[in-house]
Chain A
Amino acid sequence: MSFNVLIVDDSPVMRTFIRRVMKLAGFEDAEYIEAADGLEALERLRTRRVDVILTDVNMPRMNGEELLRELAKNGTLASVPALVISTDATRDRVQRLLSLGAHGYITKPFSPEALREELDRVVGERHGAEN
């Protein structure tokens, strides 16, 4: 079964970059699903099984914080690991997003190695909890 990654970012070039870095980080065979904001992400999640969500914070219509709140309300989706990717590394913002249910936080700029490490921690953590 393929590893499905949902990338949520309003910037098309950033979505392309994240897909590229994911491949450089070793996820060449993953399937990538894209959404431009939180609302689109929820639409994708209605019809697709996703193993991890990588989301930006500042987006139109529904931002990353609102998306995390919506995920937390849904029993099934609440268990999907969500990793925030943002330029904002201020302590309050990071703490707030983690408290809303984000499983991890990556600050731009980031290297493929840093993304891999955080994904291993987040996805491995979840798999570990299931096993």
Chain B
Amino acid sequence: MGPKTEDLRASRGTAVLPILRDVTGVVLETMFFSEAVPRSCDHAELNAPGAQEEWISARVLFDGAPRGELRVMLSHELARFIAANFLGADPEEVSGDADGQVACELANMICGAVLSRLHPDAGVALSPPELLPGDFEISAGVHQCFDTPDGTLAVTMRVAEGAEP
């Protein structure tokens, strides 16, 4: 079971945010043959009517020192495009299952890479990534939106109360 929202606090953004930006760009470029450019956040897409049907959210919990979660939020359309790049397939060939699995892998890779950069000596266990349809809560933690060629990617990392980010 993951940390509750009320138990979470904003991470030390000055340390985490540059790493989160860099790692997300490297992961998109290296594993998904795409790019991610940090952009200002207005979240108009997330707040638009019908957004819950059009966007998906994937989450990875981590436990140890530190403890918390990382979430990615993206449209089904973007998920399908990056899944196609990841699998070397046409977007039309990507199944709904595959785009969700690829969103989970994206969250897993960003989370693992950020934690390894932040805490190269720490023992941190990652939970299996999971999809959270319609859950776009982004009020706390370190957050960054990215422009990709196929849409917006939002990434949020939170660290539990009392844990060092």
Chain A contacts to B: CB under 8 angstroms: 10-14, 16-17, 20, 58, 86-93, 107-111
Contact = CB atoms under 8 A, between A and B. Distances in A.
B95 to A, nearest CB: 10
B108 A13 contact: no
A16 B83 CA distance: 11
27 contacts: A11-B101, A11-B104, A11-B105, A13-B83, A13-B86, A13-B98, A13-B101, A13-B105, A17-B31, A17-B105, A20-B88, A58-B126, A87-B108, A87-B111, A87-B112, A87-B113, A87-B116, A87-B126, A89-B113, A89-B120, A90-B115, A90-B116, A107-B113, A107-B116, A108-B113, A109-B113, A110-B31
B27 interface: yes
Contact of B122 (A86, A90, A110, A111): A90
* Contact residues of B: prevailing secondary structure: helix
Given A91-B121, A92-B123, 11 more contacts: A11-B104, A12-B101, A13-B98, A13-B102, A16-B88, A86-B112, A88-B124, A89-B112, A89-B116, A90-B123, A93-B123
B101 A108 contact: no
Task: Categorize the interface residue count of chain B.
Answer: 20 to 34
A104 B20 CA distance: 27
B30 A111 contact: yes
Contacts of A17: 31, 86-87, 105
Nearest to B83: A13
B26 interface: yes
Given A107-B116, A109-B27, A87 B86 contact: no
Contacts of B30: 109-111
A90 B105 contact: no
Contact of B120 (A12, A58, A91): A91
